[in-house]
Chain A
């Protein structure tokens, strides 16, 4: 058994720093590179792309990235684990095989995890008694079933562990939990029992710290952020030990900062009840986590406790739910705010005259109150240099949203003065993708691991 392993976070979302994974495998020693590409809305975007082209449906940054890092990972024996397979992990693996062939690299095993995508099984599952009611509102899924764009189960670490046991060098999954990507190599390397819930929770906590990339190493840090060198930010690395202790760190020669404060901020990010952090692998107790700042960008995470996992998987469904559009105009001093408010009033009166149907119209004044709303400080008009008026609408009627888009530019010649910043043409209606969280009994889901060899 290895005495420790180093797991590097390479991406916090699809669209993150392109060079981060390259830096992680070249600027210091690591054993694993884990990359989270999937947010709730991402699955529906990927499903739409796959509907247009059956070859697509995965994070298409991956083949380009693999061109750069595959020779390095192959030489250094760094394993890569990612959920960027989206709704087409097999397509993603095929694209990586193509890359390897072009680079004349062989002797690599790529594992594909499937079984999370239940979109085509919904009728069968509902008829077998799985209600898939909305877990937040309790509503029945039946009325939205025909509008569903995607339906994926959040799988845990198990299938990735299975893939590693089959000697996979690269593991491509669909909707696996972000935390499972980091927990899996610990289970595999240290031979942890998946019934040891304290260890499952220790790995899960490490996964939570790594899952948002640079957010654990000084990015978006509300503490002493000015003390952090952010241009060359190093993404976090979890140095894991067999007893469940983990040291969060980063490569020395990169920027960023790992401290008690930066790790603590990530721990409280997007959590609910801290005693019940529920994943498919365990229920981690975040109030048991001990942090010790060891200095030199090293923070020890230990003492984590947890409980047995639940008997359900979380399902994330998305469905089309109308249209929205958003537009901005910029008003300058003098009386910038008064002008922006007047423009908003005129626009709304014109929309009423047109007899359009909106579910919601939202007006915000960027530079004044769009972030903190009523908590924003009152400002003396004379001190305001400029204000960006932002108006957004949402409707189930496409034509109403489309017509809204045509009412913005006219405000420049027919509204209050000293206005600018209308570029890029009329705002087009975009499809609103609503999210449907549900639970499903684990017995209905049978994840599968397929191994492809080059």
Chain B
């Protein structure tokens, strides 16, 4: 074996980094070019894969107790349908009522009036500041228009994905169909793929697939469990506080909790808006709201995260911000929620792949 000099080694590391950087750029570029065409398919596959990771351990557990795999899957499907029916009957009408009531409350809010009175309040205390800052009383409507256009565009994009990908056909036929085969034959499919891997990469692929599968399963299950617990905590806290729309705020908080660092902060906005609109006195409302949200976050950070989330899937705050921005650009609000989990998954795969390629002496 020839030993390379440090200078050559350093140069080759730089080349490798450049090649890797270009590769990532290519992957991102390719993804953005192809994504519009495969968007619906990607969303459907992601839903089925996530559900597969949630239900696979349950199927395995039932199988261990002597239940035939197909019967186990059938039982899970039956329970899911039952839950869905109960949800549609019970929870959804409540949610729709809450959303309807909330939006009428928001509509009745006189933003122009609040804006003008705030300017008057500021002018009375610091004369000349309003003119210095160039604030005009009629800017409120212009600002609201702009916010409205941006929000509706963003929501439209998200809704169009929901409408096209998660339409009745996809959700009711394709996802269950895909989920059934993933649960039934997932292992066989993977074996068939591994069988076609060249001998040189066989052991590495086996090890990699196993690790990524375990890490992915743990990550998806733990993130969902963590977010559900946070959502329940917030819901319970706000309900005890006596705030209206506690259920929908709990769901929003749970969902936003999937975005590390920024999600819980963003969750303050809708909660504060509801407090401002519906709670009296507002000061106490905001105080209790902060107590509830901070407590939920404290429980999450002190208890849930260390227990549930593996360190290998932790993502740098700057990367989270970038991933959320890219996710938002590609697929609207849904993209923002999915971006960090998807990025974590890619990170696990890339890092493990790199480690394996090195330890199996392929690179």
Whether chains A and B associate is: no
Interface set of A (CB-CB < 8 Å, partner B):
none
